[in-house]
A and B are shown apart, each in its own frame.
Chain A
């Protein structure tokens, strides 16, 4: 039911882990519905230089988390913010229809990390 690309990212997820001195951390989802994504970003000169994730969830949740880290790295904060869940799904060569809603949260997770980064920089500036 999953594409080869999804299975690739599920079996070899990119950028798993945490960034201890992250510039922004975001978490979305809840354990009740079975998907939680947490994302850490490192930002230098407005560019995302490092990104890591941890995900509790199904194959699609893990694959979308992994995929968005690849899409976001090297992008400016503004560019990364524009990434949509649909783009993540497209980059994975599609997701089963049911998964489009429940497990395709990666853009929200990245958005939450960016929001956290903005909040932190706003208070330090």
Chain B
């Protein structure tokens, strides 16, 4: 059976060129970058070069890049790091209702430690309003964290505009750019951000490695103590192979993104157009300010996991915001924040396209899905035909 992977927002395969770049650092060039002898120097050279490369892609300088274990650590380090370092200035933090749990749960944890938190609502398309950010800012606001693009519905936030407002008020601004690295321009000055986190495995790099940009002058308390690595902001022997892979994958993605985005946008719109023809279907997220690879729909009267199982039986990998797949009793917090009722949010399906997907793949999904939806509706007590 042909298998079609359409869950690239979850993770992506490592590109062969990336794997090839990484391989020497597992074996012949295995040295610890902190060692003075030749093995160590070779690893240090690879690390420095990766850092330069990532910094250049972000329009930053090498000293502003901290390598992490991925997006969750990046968000934790950015948020807790600034909160702890700046808590004498104020204890107020602002974020949005549709953030990834790596941000949301971190902020809520800080709230339990005595910080004050404002969680901004979003509109029906999942957009955060810059005016609402401005209203929420207080003299004691130390940090604002708003994601660049949402991982579930693909809505792209007006980060540059929000960043300008936050800067005017003297707070620090973090954006979770895990879904936009390799897809959108991530120039940190154009985005007006002080901190920005990315994760390699979302752009055809390896899992377990990410990067956090921290603007020069931003104070940050480390999460991990125990060594002088990453300018004392992240102890631990560097994941050299992973970091080399991250830099390579990021460079490839950024250099190809214009062409690839155009291709993916065509496929995405073909998919959205086809799925819209299924009755009682709604497209979630913003139609224009949307990631080029994201499709998120709700099919009313049916539940997401049963849809995923049926798709899997036909070789199609996708995801859903239903409670069963969110690991809690509630469906996607993103869809609920956008105002969708619970029963409809349970019937959401996310298809995220990637490099290996073709028009034939899209057409295969469009051929299989209507039957699955129809069959599940036929056994749903909510569906009256």
Q: A-side interface residues toward B, CB under 8 Å? A: 2, 7, 10-11, 13, 16, 27, 31-38, 53-62, 98-99, 102-103
- Check B342 against A34 for contact (C-beta < 8 Å): yes
- Check A10 against B306 for contact (C-beta < 8 Å): yes
B301 / chain A contacts, CB cutoff of 8 Å? 56
Query: In the assembly, what is the distance between CA of A31 and CA of B331, in Å?
Result: 11
Q: Does B131 make an interface contact (CB < 8 A)?
A: no
- Check A54 against B379 for contact (C-beta < 8 Å): yes
- Check B381 against A38 for contact (C-beta < 8 Å): yes
Q: Per a CB cutoff under 8 Å, which of B323, B331, B380 touches A54?
A: B380
- Check B380 against A58 for contact (C-beta < 8 Å): no
Q: Does B361 make an interface contact (CB < 8 A)?
A: no
Q: Per a CB cutoff under 8 Å, which of B302, B309, B322 touches A10?
A: B309
Q: Per a CB cutoff under 8 Å, which of B302, B305, B346, B381 touches A59?
A: B305
**B interface, how many residues as a size bin?**
20 to 34
Closest B residue by C-beta to A56: B380
Q: Per a CB cutoff under 8 Å, which of A13, A32, A56, A99 touches B303?
A: A56
**A31-B343, A34-B323, A34-B346 known; A56 vs B329 contact (CB < 8 Å):** no
Query: In the assembly, what is the distance between CA of A108 and CA of B188, in Å?
Result: 56
Q: Does B366 make an interface contact (CB < 8 A)?
A: no
A27 / chain B contacts, CB cutoff of 8 Å? 381
Closest A residue by C-beta to B301: A56
**A11-B313, A34-B342, A56-B301 known; A102 vs B306 contact (CB < 8 Å):** no
- Interchain nearest-CB distance for B63 vs A (Å): 45
B382 / chain A contacts, CB cutoff of 8 Å? 31, 36, 56
Q: Does B378 make an interface contact (CB < 8 A)?
A: yes
- Check A102 against B329 for contact (C-beta < 8 Å): yes
Q: Does B324 make an interface contact (CB < 8 A)?
A: yes
Closest 4 CB pairs of A and B: A31-B343, A58-B305, A38-B381, A54-B381
Query: In the assembly, what is the distance between CA of A32 and CA of B331, in Å?
Result: 9
- Interchain nearest-CB distance for B309 vs A (Å): 5
B322 / chain A contacts, CB cutoff of 8 Å? 34, 58
B323 / chain A contacts, CB cutoff of 8 Å? 33-34, 102
A56 / chain B contacts, CB cutoff of 8 Å? 301-303, 343, 380-382
Q: Per a CB cutoff under 8 Å, which of B313, B341, B379 touches A16?
A: B379
List residues of B (170-224) whose CB comes within 8 Å of A's CBs.
none
**A34-B322, A34-B323 known; A61 vs B379 contact (CB < 8 Å):** no
Ordered by A's residue number, 28 sampled pairs between the chains whose C-beta atoms are within 8 Å are A7-B309, A10-B306, A10-B309, A13-B379, A16-B378, A16-B379, A27-B381, A32-B343, A33-B323, A33-B342, A34-B322, A34-B342, A34-B346, A36-B381, A36-B382, A38-B381, A55-B380, A56-B302, A56-B343, A56-B381, A56-B382, A58-B303, A58-B306, A58-B322, A59-B305, A59-B306, A102-B324, A102-B329
Closest B residue by C-beta to A66: B379
- Check B381 against A62 for contact (C-beta < 8 Å): no
Query: In the assembly, what is the distance between CA of A61 and CA of B304, in Å?
Result: 12
- Check A62 against B379 for contact (C-beta < 8 Å): yes
List residues of B (93-114) whose CB comes within 8 Å of A's CBs.
none
Query: In the assembly, what is the distance between CA of A89 and CA of B119, in Å?
Result: 41
- Interchain nearest-CB distance for B320 vs A (Å): 10
List residues of B (287-345) whose CB comes within 8 Å of A's CBs.
301-306, 309, 313, 322-324, 327, 329, 331, 341-343
Query: In the assembly, what is the distance between CA of A61 and CA of B327, in Å?
Result: 16
Q: Per a CB cutoff under 8 Å, which of B313, B324, B379 touches A34?
A: B324
Query: In the assembly, what is the distance between CA of A99 and CA of B324, in Å?
Result: 8
Which has the most chain A C-beta neighbours within 10 Å: B303, B305, B327, B342? B303
Query: In the assembly, what is the distance between CA of A37 and CA of B380, in Å?
Result: 8
